Chains A and B, each alone.
Chain A
């Protein structure tokens, strides 16, 4: 802050979001906003770096040269257990909530851009895989990663390319009962199918979309067992990095989860990634009261 390096420590809690103080000035900072709410630096705001919650498996594939915060042996017994967040669901929500479909501790993926905010219920993102939306004037794309855990938000417009009106996720077709039974391994695999991003469109466009989706699959039959296992498994599903690609309607290029085109006309170009925050709905709403909630059934 202004050329001075600050060191922070945990100092309290405010409406279920923690407060920290800096050792240098003793100012009080709200964690979620990075804003000093009291003390000598009141009103100042820390520069927010983009960060995301990502599975270690996917992260080490994307950043094999990256480094990891070392565990401290003495604290190891205190580290929160896997799945600890679920325990918090029983605690009350202390801030006022709007009437709406979401419970206070529903996990949402929040995005803010130029004064517009939207929250995507994590369960919806997990179900749809890909959600196309528009935030303000910016077409965006919310995608669940190949690890089924990481969510990324992209601007659905690559610099220097015609705006792609739609992206499709190539996924494996759901297995039939016969396929899952042993002894039928020789059966022909179903072709991969394309799943349109969950966008609500006028009826005539929807027909067009359906015809696109029914077009011969690009890439051919690649229904991998891993993808199938991943689709059907429940909460304690094994970790897999399934084949993952998006196809855009404008150029037919293939895009990976980094948001970069790996094949087709757009090859080499990347979609800008927007910062997003995966957190409880009550906290997102508390700090973004103007935020709308994305819903599969509602027009934009």
Chain B
């Protein structure tokens, strides 16, 4: 039982690392994203939320079994075949840490750590906008309204959910 738990623990930990790690590795800047790798990465991001939680639950249960103090006195025959206690403790702790980190990564939109979304989308009249004349803006006009999205802001937010002329729009850069 303990031996089986040990190997399930390792499999679950590897799964955690792959589920969270493949999207991070594939969807990174300044490299090409091959279509199949991207499809896999997006699927893993989609399924990652529950998959990492499930794997984490498996890891916790298996780690508990593996780390439970042995009740029966060790028999000489089993001694050699069973992983040593320090190795089991190391592997179980590593699996718990990996599972925890992977589950965390799968549950956050880490791209928004680097580029925070605009949580306070408001429009101000030109008189109150203090951008220099040479600053470039993204212009959108719709339904008799015109709005400028300064590039220096858009280069950070990249996506701004807004309303213009009565329509919901997403300004992107």
Instruction: Decide: B168 and A5 in contact? CB cutoff 8 A.
Output: yes
Given A55-B133, A72-B120, A75-B118, is A66 in contact with B111 using a C-beta cutoff of 8 Å?
Answer: no
> How far, in whole Å, are A157 and B90 apart by their CA atoms in the complex?
76
Please provide the chain A residues from 31 to 53 with a CB less than 8 Å away from any CB of chain B in the complex: 31, 37-39, 46, 49-53
> Does B169 reach chain A (CB closer than 8 Å)?
yes
Q: With a CB–CB cut-off of 8 A, which chain A residues contact B30? A: 16, 91-92, 94
* In the complex, per-residue mask of B133-161: 1 if CB is within 8 Å of any chain A CB, else 0: 11111111110011111111111111111
Q: With a CB–CB cut-off of 8 A, which chain A residues contact B29? A: 13, 16
Instruction: Decide: A63 and B156 in contact? CB cutoff 8 A.
Output: no
Q: With a CB–CB cut-off of 8 A, which chain A residues contact B168? A: 5-6
Instruction: Decide: B146 and A67 in contact? CB cutoff 8 A.
Output: yes
> Does B69 reach chain A (CB closer than 8 Å)?
no
Q: With a CB–CB cut-off of 8 A, which chain A residues contact B118? A: 69, 72, 75
Interface residues of B (CB under 8 A from A): 23, 27-33, 38-39, 41-43, 45-46, 109, 111-112, 115-126, 128-129, 131-142, 145-162, 168-172
The residue from A39, A70, A94 contacting B122, defined by CB atoms under 8 A apart: A70
> How far, in whole Å, are A9 and B169 apart by their CA atoms in the complex?
13
Given A60-B126, A149-B136, is A78 in contact with B156 using a C-beta cutoff of 8 Å?
Answer: yes
Q: With a CB–CB cut-off of 8 A, which chain B residues contact A94? A: 30-32
Residue contacts A-B, CB under 8 angstroms, 29 given: A5-B168, A8-B170, A10-B115, A13-B29, A18-B172, A20-B172, A26-B46, A38-B39, A39-B46, A52-B138, A52-B139, A53-B139, A53-B151, A55-B134, A57-B134, A59-B139, A60-B126, A63-B146, A67-B123, A67-B125, A67-B147, A67-B148, A69-B154, A69-B162, A75-B156, A80-B155, A94-B30, A95-B32, A147-B134
Instruction: Say which size band chain A's interface belongs to.
Output: 35 or more
> From residue B79, how far is it (CB to closest CB) to chain A in Å?
50
> Does A54 reach chain B (CB closer than 8 Å)?
yes
> Does A56 reach chain B (CB closer than 8 Å)?
yes
> From residue A226, how far is it (CB to closest CB) to chain B in Å?
13
Instruction: Decide: A63 and B139 in contact? CB cutoff 8 A.
Output: yes
Pick from A16, A19, A59 the residue with the most CB of B within 10 Å: A59
Pick from A68, A75, A79 the residue with the most CB of B within 10 Å: A68
Pick from B45, B123, B159, B162 the residue with the most CB of A within 10 Å: B159
Q: With a CB–CB cut-off of 8 A, which chain B residues contact A21? A: 109
Q: With a CB–CB cut-off of 8 A, which chain B residues contact A60? A: 126, 133, 148
